[in-house]
A and B are shown apart, each in its own frame.
Chain A
Amino acid sequence: MSPSHAWPSNAAQPAPLDTRVRMETPEGIDLVLRPAGLLSRSLAFAIDLLIRGALLVALFYLLHAFGEFGTGIFVLALFLINWWYMVLFEVLHQGRTPGKQLLGLRVVHDDGTPVGWSASLLRNLLRFVDMLPFGYSVGAFACLQHPFFKRLGDLAAGTLVIYRDAPTARPVLPQVPAIVAPVVLTLEEQRAVLSFAERQDSLSAARAQELAGILIAPLQMPANMPPEQALSQLNGIARGLAGSA
């Protein structure tokens, strides 16, 4: 393989590709949204489809017993489930249908606000365009080509399907005495040190020592310090950053 060309050092690096979108609120707060792509969305849709199908079959057998009245009710239910299932769940359940709930997705407006009646109705009515010509081909194609993974309905309604932020468990830090960092660390660096301490269990021991070894010189540890000690030093700094709790 040919060696990769180094980017000219004076040229500005293009922004790295990321799946996150930053949305600034009027209060100057950055909200990070993570748009969801075709795979998770199509799975959520498949789950919803199964639920709806099962519901309709069950209702059919149940209401069949009531003769004409049952048939009438069934037809009403068919209408409701076909056209309003998605809309009602999205608007009344914080943008989540059962399928989206299972996959950790939700629907919001483009600016991150909860989805409203008009947007939800529009995006679900336009499903019938996305379905063309067969099996959501148009929708899938649009979803694969759009940077925020929008299908036509989302484009028209100005909505976004995003991953919900799951509540994170309290991280466990290694039990070492806290140390004050010998240099001032920026926010990003503090986060890196903290996540290094938090994720140590998932890293192999050799890899953890290798990572700690990178910081021996910048954090003013003695150059001949063994890597295990550098590791515990770094953990101590992480503890110092987290504060005792």
Chain B
Amino acid sequence: MRLTEARVAIRPRNPWEAVDLGVLLARQHRRLLMTSWAIVTLPIFALLTVLLWDYPSAAVLLFWWLKPAYERLPLLILSQALFGAAPSLKEALKAWPRALKPQLLASLTWRRFSLSRSFNLPVQQLEGLDGLLRAQRIALLGQRNLRVVRCLTSMGSTLEMCFWIGLMLLFYALIPQQVELDWSWRSLLEIESGWNWLEHLTNAFYALVLIVWEPIYVSCGFALYLNRRTTLEGWDIELAFRRLRQRLVGSAYALLLGVSLVFSFSPSTAMADDTVDESNYSCPLPPLDLPQTEEQLAAPGTARLLSQPLNSEASQSAIKAVLDSPPFKNPKAVSGWRLSDQKRDAKTAKNGDTSQWLTRLVLILLNIGKTLSSVFEALLWTAIALAVAWVTWRYRGWFGTFVSRDTRKPQVRRDAPRQLFGLQVDIESLPDDVASAAEKLWPEAPREALSLLYRALLNRLLTDYQLPLKNADTEGQVLERVAALNQPPLHDFSRELTRHWQNLAYGHQLPASEVQNDLCEGWRRLFTRGAAT
């Protein structure tokens, strides 16, 4: 065992931390530990199952009873892995029978129920102690650790149970429902040899759980043992001392060797001695300027280094000045209103009164618990109602968007265009009575009058009939949309008006005078009457 080759950081830990180190140790070598454990235990479990097929509980009990025998294998692996490379799987399995022999009977009988099993195992397996010596050694090592060791074992058994039941539940949850129907509990409770396989299956779960947990358990006990020895024997100190020795003596040897090589050619040996002497001091000692007593040296507040231009007081004040200036301190004046102390006092006094009054009130109210319960009920319901109301109000937009009961696609409300193919069609640009305005305009400016009528029609189509007219639509397309509305009078009127408007606008053909009458009357018939009714 060479401490300098230890694969874990050696330092005294508290026992709980030592257990954690054990978990980490087992985690580092988990593949080797779990494989070797499985290779050893699973055949034994299978053998026991076959031999005791009719007694499943006895099989698992025996398997459980033999645990200390298997536990020697992980310890064997861990003890080698700690101070060097871990053994290979084959080496470990070969070494196991040899580690099994000593004190096997004791481990399996009167020491089987010891709660500090994993902690005692290294003493008997690695130190090879037995009888009185072993008892003394365990008493010495276990002085502060026994409580933790017992906690470890009891938690371990609880954990095994939890994992075991957990695995069974998981297995039960994964059975398809059709199969599950046949497994009524009555038939399970009946003592039938047909159900033995199920019990053996649950026993197998226990063997699986042990593969995961037992190496960790052994490793934790081993780590506790190591930790106790580290504290008792100062392993960490030895390690640091050995490194120090390596650093100083190792380098001094090299230097000595070099020096002797150089001076072996020179006749003067006295000079060589001098050089060696100097080389021993890797750093000269600082000169002590004043012979002072220990007390004076120690007191941190006293002025020191008084015989030089920059003494300790001056340097301290300089340091303070630097520390008080901006990069280290940024003083800032903050002004504001605060409660005066007088008022605060008055307030606390008032609070004291209130609490006294409250206690009396609570005492009275507790006597009429029934009333209070209804009051509280009402308050709670109010609170819930308020909360719901607040939530609804706060997220009304969200509700409107996502929880709308209206499944129809909501009407897309678009802004009606104010202009269509260069014509003003918004309501502000039109007179109230379109027909009369057109009649009035007709004698002087028939073009404006017809344009007015057409614009008014477009406006009505946009606003009253909500036609999605676009700037790019032609007059013909507008007519098609009107036709799609399936309103013959409107369609007829629109077609007439559009024809005359196109003739005038593009062909410069004035419509006949009776057309004016027709159109204005048609307009009145369609819109003014519609508006009146």
Contacts and interface: CB of A to CB of B under 8 A. Distances in A.
Does chain A bind chain B? Answer: yes
A187 B479 CA distance: 97
Contacts of A208: 234
Contacts of B294: 178, 244
B237 A211 contact: yes
Interface string A76-89: 00000000000000
A203 B238 contact: no
B155 interface: yes
B298 A243 contact: yes
Give the secondary structure class of A's interface. loop
Interface residues of B, number: 76
B8 A214 contact: no
Interface in B229-252: 231-234, 236-238, 240-245, 247-249, 252
A219 B247 CA distance: 11
Interface in B167-190: 169-170, 173
A2 B162 contact: no
A20 interface: yes
Given A72-B373, A140-B162, A218-B245, A244 B298 contact: yes
B237 A195 contact: yes
A27 interface: no
B370 A134 contact: no
A242 B113 CA distance: 48
Contact of A19 (B20, B80, B83, B216): B20
B191 interface: no
Nearest to B22: A37
B436 interface: no
A76 B2 CA distance: 61
B9 A16 contact: yes
B369 A67 contact: yes
Interface string A1-21: 110111100000010111110
Contact of B241 (A42, A69, A192): A192
Given A4-B83, A145-B27, A215-B244, A39 B5 contact: no
A147 B28 CA distance: 10
B283 interface: yes
B376 interface: yes
Nearest to B245: A218
Contacts of A135: 158, 161-162, 165-166
A115 B101 CA distance: 52
B162 A69 contact: no
Contacts of B24: 17, 19, 147
Contact of A137 (B95, B166, B245, B283): B166
A155 interface: no
B348 to A, nearest CB: 23
Interface string B273-304: 00000001111010000000011011000000
Nearest to A67: B369
A7 B247 CA distance: 20
Interface in A14-56: 14, 16-20, 34-40, 42-43
B388 interface: no
B163 interface: yes
A20 B4 CA distance: 19
Nearest to B368: A69
B237 A137 contact: no
B244 A218 contact: yes
B327 to A, nearest CB: 14
Interface string B405-443: 000000000000000000000000000000000000000
Contact of A39 (B6, B9, B151, B247): B151
Interface in B51-91: 76, 80, 83-85, 87, 91
Contact of B16 (A40, A145, A183, A188): A40
Contacts of A136: 162
A43 to B, nearest CB: 6
Contacts of A6: 5, 84
A17 B7 contact: yes
A183 B233 CA distance: 26
B14 interface: yes
Contacts of A19: 13, 17, 20-21, 24
Given A6-B5, A39-B220, A192-B240, A70 B159 contact: no
Contacts of B162: 134-137, 140
A167 interface: no
A1 B8 CA distance: 21
Contacts of A244: 294-295, 297-298
B16 A163 contact: yes
Nearest to B11: A18
B175 to A, nearest CB: 14
A138 to B, nearest CB: 8
A183 B282 contact: yes
Contact of A68 (B85, B169, B241, B373): B373
Given A135-B166, A149-B20, A211-B241, 12 more contacts: A1-B95, A18-B8, A38-B155, A42-B155, A66-B369, A69-B372, A134-B166, A137-B163, A141-B163, A189-B240, A195-B237, A207-B233
Interface of A: 1-2, 4-7, 14, 16-20, 34-40, 42-43, 66-70, 72, 103-104, 132-137, 140-141, 144-145, 147, 149, 163, 178, 180, 182-185, 188-189, 191-192, 195-196, 199, 202-203, 207-208, 211, 214-215, 217-220, 243-245
27 contacts: A4-B85, A16-B6, A17-B21, A18-B8, A20-B9, A38-B155, A39-B19, A67-B369, A67-B373, A68-B370, A72-B376, A103-B16, A133-B170, A136-B162, A141-B163, A163-B14, A163-B17, A180-B285, A184-B283, A188-B240, A189-B243, A195-B236, A196-B237, A208-B234, A215-B244, A217-B245, A243-B298
Interface of B: 5-10, 13-14, 16-17, 19-21, 23-25, 27-28, 76, 80, 83-85, 87, 91, 95, 148, 151-152, 155, 158-159, 161-163, 165-166, 169-170, 173, 212, 216, 220, 231-234, 236-238, 240-245, 247-249, 252, 280-283, 285, 294-295, 297-298, 366, 369-370, 372-373, 376-377
